[in-house]
Amino acid sequence: MAIVHPTALVDSGAELASDVEIGPYVVVGAQVRIGRGTRVGAHCVLSGHTTIGEDNVFHPFSSIGGVPQDKKYAGEPTRLEIGDRNMVREYCTFNTGTAQDSGCTRIGNDNWIMAYVHVAHDVQLGNHATLANNATLAGHVRLGDWVTVGGLSGVHQFVKIGAYAFIGFSSAISQDVPPFIMADGNPSSARGFNIEGLRRRGFGPARMAAVKRMYRLLYREGLTLDDAKIRMANLLEEYPEAQEDVQLMLGFLAESTRGIVR
C-alpha cells in the first residue's frame, strides 16, 4: 500500500499507486491520480483533475493542480497532466487548463523544475527541460524538448520556445524563440545558438554546421524571414545528417504566431 504520513489528508476518491509516498501535512484531492514511485514532500497540495505519472519527486510546499489564474475561468473541469521522472523543487505552482484552449496543462517527462517556478494554465512543456529558480511561464506557452529557461525569467502568454533553445538569466521573452537559439535580455534578443547544449546532446560536426548556417541565415545575413526560410530549405540536401534539425526549424517558423526574437 501507499506510504501516507498520518498527518496527510488524502481524499478517499484519490487514486495512489501502491508505492507512492505522501509526506507530512500533504493534501491530496479527490480527482488526483498518482503513478508508481512518485514521492510528495511535506505540505504540498495536490488538487483539481490532476494526473501524475511515475517516479516524480515533489519537494515541500508546492501547489499542483490549482485552478487557473484567469478571470475567464468559470469552474470548467479542466486538467493537469504530468508525465514521468520529473523533479519539482520547493514552492512551485502548476495550474490546470482553461476551456479557451485545450483544457489541459501538460508537463512531459524528465524535466528539472527548480524552486518557485510557475507553470500557468494551458502550458505545454516538453521533455528534458530545465526551468531555473523563479522562471515563470504564462498561459498557453509552448516549450519544446531540452529547453533551458534561466532564473527570474518570464515568458509571455502564447509564446513558443523551440527545442534546444536557451533563455538567459532574468529575461523577458515576449516573442517566439526558434529551436537552438540563445536569447536573453529585456527586451530580449538572439545572442547566438546553443553550442554547448547541442554538444551535450550529442550533435556531431555536420549537425552543428547546419544549425550554425540556420542561425546565420536568420540573424546575420540581413535576409527577410521569408528569404531565410527559402535558403534554409536548401540545407536539406547540403546536410543530409541534419534533415530532422532543418525540418524542426522550418516547422517552428511556419507555426510562429508572435514573430521571432531578433
Indicate which residue of 139, 144, 150, 197 is catalytic. Answer: 139
Q: Under the phi-then-psi rule, with left for phi > 0, alpha for psi from -120 to 50, and beta for the rest, what region is 37?
A: left
**CB neighbours of residue 166 within 10 Å:** 25
Sequence-separated (6 or more) residues with CB below 8 Å from residue 216 = none
Strand arrangement of the beta sheet that strand 27-28 belongs to: 9-10, 27-28, 45-46, 63-66, 93-95, 118-119, 136-137, 154-155, 172-173
Q: Are 43 and 61 in contact (CB under 8 A)?
A: yes
Which residue, chain included where needed, has cell 513558443?
Answer: 160
Residue 221 has phi, psi (to 5 degrees) of -115, 10
Q: Are 165 and 181 in contact (CB under 8 A)?
A: yes
**What letter does residue 68 receive in the DSSP assignment?**
P
Catalytic, 122? Answer yes
Closest CA to 242 of 198, 209, 199: 209
Catalytic, 176? Answer no
When computed from its CA atoms, the radius of gyration of the chain, rounded to whole angstroms, is 20
Catalytic, 121? Answer yes
Rounded to whole angstroms, the Cα distance separating 168 from 135 reads: 11
Indicate which residue of 43, 121, 128, 140 is catalytic. Answer: 121
Cell of 92: 512551485
Closest CA to 129 of 142, 111, 116, 113: 111
Indicate which residue of 84, 122, 176, 245 is catalytic. Answer: 122
Residues with active-site annotation: 121-122, 139
